[in-house]
Amino acid sequence: MRSLSLFLGISITTFICLAAKTSLAENKSGPIASEAPLQLELLSQAPDSVITANTVYQDKMTVPSFWWAKENSENKLLDNWIAYPSSTTEPARVDLLVNQQIWGLLDYFERYNFVNQMGNLARSYGYNVRVFNYQQERLATYTCNFVNSPALCNIEMKAKNSMGLDSSL
C-alpha cells in the first residue's frame, strides 16, 4: 500500500511538473537556477548572513532550517547546507550537500522525491535549492519564481542516460 501511495504521489508530482515545464517553455521568464559557484569554504567560516548546518542561534529560530530533514533522513543523504540570503542580483538560495555514495544508490524517482521535498521546504522559507556533492558537481535544482502567486517552480535533475553517463534533464 505504501508503494502504491508513493507511486501515485510521484506520478501526480511528475504530471504537475511536466505541466509547469510546458508552461515555462511558453513563458520565457520562467525560473532559472543560479550559476553562482558553490562556496564550500563557508561551511567552516560563514559570515553572519550565511546559514549552514552548523549555524545555531540561541535567541531565535534559525531560518531556513533543514535540521528536521537531516536528522530524520533514514539514509543520511542530506549532509550539510549553505543558505545564502537574497541579493540585488539573485534570490535567496540553499545549496544542499549530499552524501555521494547514498545519492548514487538512489534511483531517479527517489532522487526526484528528495529534491521535491527539500524544494518544498525551502520554498516555504522563500529559498531556491541546488543539490551538490562534495566534488562541487551540481546534481539537481529546484528553482521558483516567487513573483508569481503561487510560486512557479521548476525541478532540473542530472540523470544517467542509457549508456550510464551523466546528462542533464
pLDDT digits (tens, 9 = 90+) for 31-46: 788 898 888 888 888 7
**Count of the separate structural domains present in the chain:** 1
Residue 136 makes CB contacts below 8 A (sequence gap 6+) with: 37, 38, 40
Residue 8 within any structural domain of the chain = no
> Residues 58-81: what's their mean pLDDT?
64
Residue 125 within any structural domain of the chain = yes
Range of the domain at 75: 38-168
Residue 108 within any structural domain of the chain = yes
Give the Cα separation of 122 and 133 in Å (integer): 18
In 10 A of CB 63, how many CB atoms?
12
Residue 139 within any structural domain of the chain = yes
**pLDDT at residue 130, as a whole number:** 96
Residue 118 within any structural domain of the chain = yes
> Residues 59-68: what's their mean pLDDT?
55
Residue 2 within any structural domain of the chain = no
* Percent of the chain whose predicted confidence (pLDDT) is above 90: 29
Give the Cα separation of 47 and 97 in Å (integer): 18
In 10 A of CB 97, how many CB atoms?
21
The pTM score is 0.71
* H/E segment holding residue 70: helix 67-71
Residue type, 158: K
Grid coordinates given for 105: 544508490
Most confident of 6-10, 47-51, 108-112: 108-112
